[in-house]
Amino acid sequence: MSEKTQTRKEQFREFINGSLSIAERRIDVAVIAGLIAVAVAMPTVASVLMGYPGVASNVLIWMLFAVSFNLLLGYTGLLSFGHAMFLGGSMYIVAIVMTQFGPGMIVLGIPLALALIGLLAYGIGRLIVQKGEIYFALLTIAFGEVVWYIANSNPGGVTGGDDGIASGLLPPLVESYRGILTIELGSFIVSIYWAIAAVFVVATYLLFRIVRSPFGRTLITIRENEQLARSIGVNTRRYKINAFMLSAVFSAVAGIMLLIVNQSVATSYLYWETSGEVVMMTIVGGLSSFAGPMFGAFLWFLGSEFLSGWQAIGALRHYWQFGFGLLFIIIILVEPRKGGWGAIKKAVRWAANKLLGGN
């Protein structure tokens, strides 16, 4: 073994097993504060830029979905085109439980959905994580299409086929109030948005802790050099399976929130196009930073809700997806990992250097 390889191994071991410094612990506090700030500000931002405060819930949900997806793509290096089966699958499981046994059984449907999605991801992961990056991506499409076909074929009449499961899953509990869904409990009205925001903050912070833990650092090691990771005793297959499963479960959390907000589910949430959308959001936002996918999800909704309704740009407002696709291509060619968020950070650093350093 060469001295260079031995040094590289030691560096990987130190990287994986390193403890957090005081400065890094302070970052945790800043991240929590930042997530809370995003959640608090989003209704106002959605109202001003997108014209409807109710969009705020969907923005947070898709932000969580994108961050969950990036645990697999950005940190493990595995591209999935089938993550819609976890988002939509959790929606269907909870919706079926509620329609078959009553709205109150949502308390059973939620943990059941998370458990079943976790088991599904574990089973699929065991089969495909070592098949190579290209075949992994193709197989996720195949499994996703199988799940879509099952839902579309309406087995036992429980999935609703093409129509999905209709709206009004929680009619006794949920009403629309100023564009934001609310639950009426006696004489109190509690905004569902704040429940969604709380779950968003907690789930996103948990993902942040995961990627900064020894587990997360091991995933980065595998992404950078899987062969070297194996040589220092890392069971790369097990780590990939666990990353796939965690990514799926957090995606399922996003799906459950989406069901609660929309009060309906359709097969479109299981379709490969939904998986493609989260891939685009993540890459446009930036794979290399934790906040990048959230930024990408925000840009997506900015296009779909703001630009599509902006009368000042005339007919161009109907082509916002063309613009987003063009941005996707440019980022792939120029900065495939840093994305839009990386470009913003670079611009901020440049401006700060100009203002403070004069260079």
pLDDT tens digit sequence for 195-216: 999 999 999 999 999 999 999 9
The answer to whether residue 296 sits within a structural domain is: yes
CA distance 259 to 301: 18
Cα dist. 255→83, 141, 162, 168, 170 in Å? Answer: 11, 18, 19, 17, 16
| pLDDT bracket for residue 305 (50, 70, 90) | confident
317-326: pLDDT as tens digits = 667 778 888 8
More confident residue, 55 or 180: 55
Domain assignment present for residue 3? The answer is: no
The reported pLDDT for the residue numbered 337 is: 84
Query: Who wins on pLDDT, 105 or 1?
Result: 105
Phi, psi torsion values for 175, nearest 5 degrees: -140, 160
Residue 122 belongs to domain spanning: 24-356
Task: Report whether pLDDT(11) > 70.
Answer: no
Count up the domains in the chain and report the number. Answer: 1
Q: Is residue 260 part of a domain?
A: yes
pLDDT range class, residue 172, cuts 50, 70, 90: very low
* The pLDDT of residue 104: 82
Mean pLDDT of 265-281: 94
C-alpha distances out from residue 110 to 213, 271, 286, 321, Å? 27, 22, 31, 33
Per-residue pLDDT band for 355 (boundaries 50, 70, 90) equals: confident
Q: Does residue 11 belong to any structural domain of this protein?
A: no
> What percentage of the chain exceeds 70 in pLDDT?
81
Q: Which residues pair with 348 in a beta bridge?
A: none
CATH of the domain at 297: 1.10.3470
Neighbours of 250 (CB within 10 A): 24
Whether 129 maps to a domain, the answer reads yes
- Is 317 inside a domain boundary? yes
Domain-embedded: residue 4 = no
Q: What share of the chain is helix, strand, coil (3-state, %, to 5)?
A: 80, 5, 20
Report DSSP letters for 318-359, one per residue: GGHHHHHHHHHHHHHHH-TTTHHHHHHHHHHHHHHHHHHT--
16 part of a folded domain? no
- Residue with the bigger pLDDT between 202 and 308: it is 202
Give the percent of the chain with pLDDT over 90.
52
pLDDT attached to residue 169: 65
**E strand map for 151-254:** 174-177, 180-185, 188-191
